[in-house]
Amino acid sequence: MKKRRNIILIATAALLLTGFTAQAQGLGKLGNALKKAAETKTQQAESPNNPLKQSNMTNATTMYVSVSTGAGSRTADGTQEKPYKDLQAAIDAAEEGALIRIAEGNYLGKMDQGFIELKKYLALEGGWNTDFSERDPVKHPTTIRPDAAIAKAGTAGAHALMDVIVKGNRGGTVMIDGMVFDMGEYNLYCQPVYENPVASAPAGCETGRIICVGESPSGVPTMGGIPGSRQAVYGAVEGKLIVRNCVFANAVHYGIQMENIAGNWEFYNNIFIACRMAACEVRGNGVAPEHETTLDFHHNTVLFTWTRDKLLEDMGYGLRYMTRMSYDVHDNIFGGNVYAALDRTRFDSDLKRDKIRKTNAFDNLFFANRMGDICLPSGGGMWNFQFANNFEEVEQLEKYENNREVNDAEMGTLCKVINEPYLKGYLGLEMSRSSQYNENSAMNTFRAAMGMNKQGSETNRVSMYGNRYPLAEVGQLWGVIPGKGAQTPK
């Protein structure tokens, strides 16, 4: 019976995908995927951009942190035998250039306030077991995952899960490696009352829709913490920033939103899933030329990025090309981004500088991005959405080769590892609006007597919006398609 359900799901996904991209995708005409995957895997192993490569950082010292076996900051010395318990305490004690190895467990910052602050050139390396004899970020997850109690206590304030503000050394490096950032317990959601349209909960999803700041849906119970506007990672860095082997899940207000002061950055081998606004947005500071302010965004899996609100009218991008920056975006998987996988609508008011920056997208896979694979300005104040087969015509992309929609075999593989209720809910996403106006209602009669305009009401319903993706199933997304997207960390 399970096999039959999988076959039905795959067939349904393929049919609905065709509906999303009827004019552009042509899933059955994209060649031999298995041969391509084998060739790509061989090339990947030989490439300098291998997503599983090791960092060449040289560290002055190595420190150790274990929330389950470590000691408090007054008695810990940061050695393997006597690690810190508190990650923030270890960061505060570390010298510039140190490597901090972090054991499995949940880290909530100083006195469990729900956030971490990084203000030094350090390397954070999660995914170790408690005695530091084995590193496997999937098997031994290092998480920053505040719960509802922390949210309601208000201790986190406006902080992101991790604030990274490091300046002063353009030759320095900051690295965040093998960490899980999840806001699924912090956010406020409707409970999954499947028969109630207010909940916007497709059958089988573990929550109803997310509740944004200023909303108070009636007629359905809620679950979780509070409405918020916190990023998973936020800040500004001068120098090189490496983010790899990480998970950004259920971020209510961007997965990563940062400012590149000056430096050649690299984000690779990460999973971004069920974030709101944008999975990744990095803007340039403008103090350095565009060839010294860059982002190499590669071998990432970016799924289900949600719009600003339930009207589904703006935001909801996988990656945004911002101004004063140059970008290489390649070998990623972008799927289920509600507005578009890529946003290339931003232009610098300084047109000379805007012509200097280079924005590239090549060798990427796309599927079921609701409006398109890239969003462009139309020239008439609206947006121009295009799919991968038209990237050659996108003049904003200097390098554009080998982008394509996933083929049938790849879609079948993806259907096996993506949470089934979530995928079915997204593929069946519907929105409805209804208006009501009663000229002689008691309220309008009173407003008329006061010399005020009469009013009606509008109700907006969406079948799914920002629902929590189960963190326990994110691990199935590593290494789904060899050579594309996030590969299993080594």
Domain boundaries, the chain: 6-60+145-427+464-477, 435-462
Task: Name the band, by pLDDT with cuts 50, 70 and 90, for residue 154.
Answer: confident
- Residues facing residue 487 across a β-bridge: none
- Which of the two residues, 445 and 165, has the higher pLDDT score? 165
| Alpha-carbon separation of residue 22 from 16, 19, 169, 368, 375 (angstroms) | 9, 5, 50, 11, 17
- The mean pLDDT value for 249-264 works out to 98
pLDDT digits (tens, 9 = 90+) for 393-403: 999 999 999 99
Q: Could you tell me the pLDDT band of residue 218, with boundaries at 50, 70 and 90?
A: confident
For range 289-299, the mean pLDDT: 96
The region, left, alpha or beta by phi > 0 then psi within -120 to 50, assigned to residue 371 is alpha
Using CA atoms of 424, 428, 431, 432 in order, give the dihedral in degrees to the nearest 10. Answer: -120
pLDDT-derived band at 25 (thresholds 50, 70, 90) equals very low
Q: Which residue is it, tokens 């270890």?
A: 90
Please give the helix or strand (H or E) that residue 378 lies within, else none.
Answer: none
Return d(Cα 176, Cα 122) in angstroms, integer: 9
Asked if residue 35 has pLDDT above 80, the reply is: no
Burial of 14 (0-12, 13-18, 19+ CB in 10 A): middle
**Cα–Cα distances in Å, from 140 out to 145, 164, 255, 489?**
15, 24, 22, 11
- Average per-residue pLDDT in the chain? 87
Query: Residue 12 has what pLDDT?
Result: 42
pTM score, two decimals?
Answer: 0.87
Lowest mean pLDDT among 33-37, 141-145, 387-391, 427-431: 33-37
Residue 436, pLDDT score: 58
Q: Rounded CA gap, 258 and 281, in Å?
A: 7
Q: What is the pLDDT of residue 209?
A: 97
Confirm if 66 and 87 have CB atoms less than 8 A apart.
no
Question: In this model, does residue 473 exceed pLDDT 70?
Answer: yes
Pick the closest to residue 247 from 265, 273, 229 (CA basis): 273
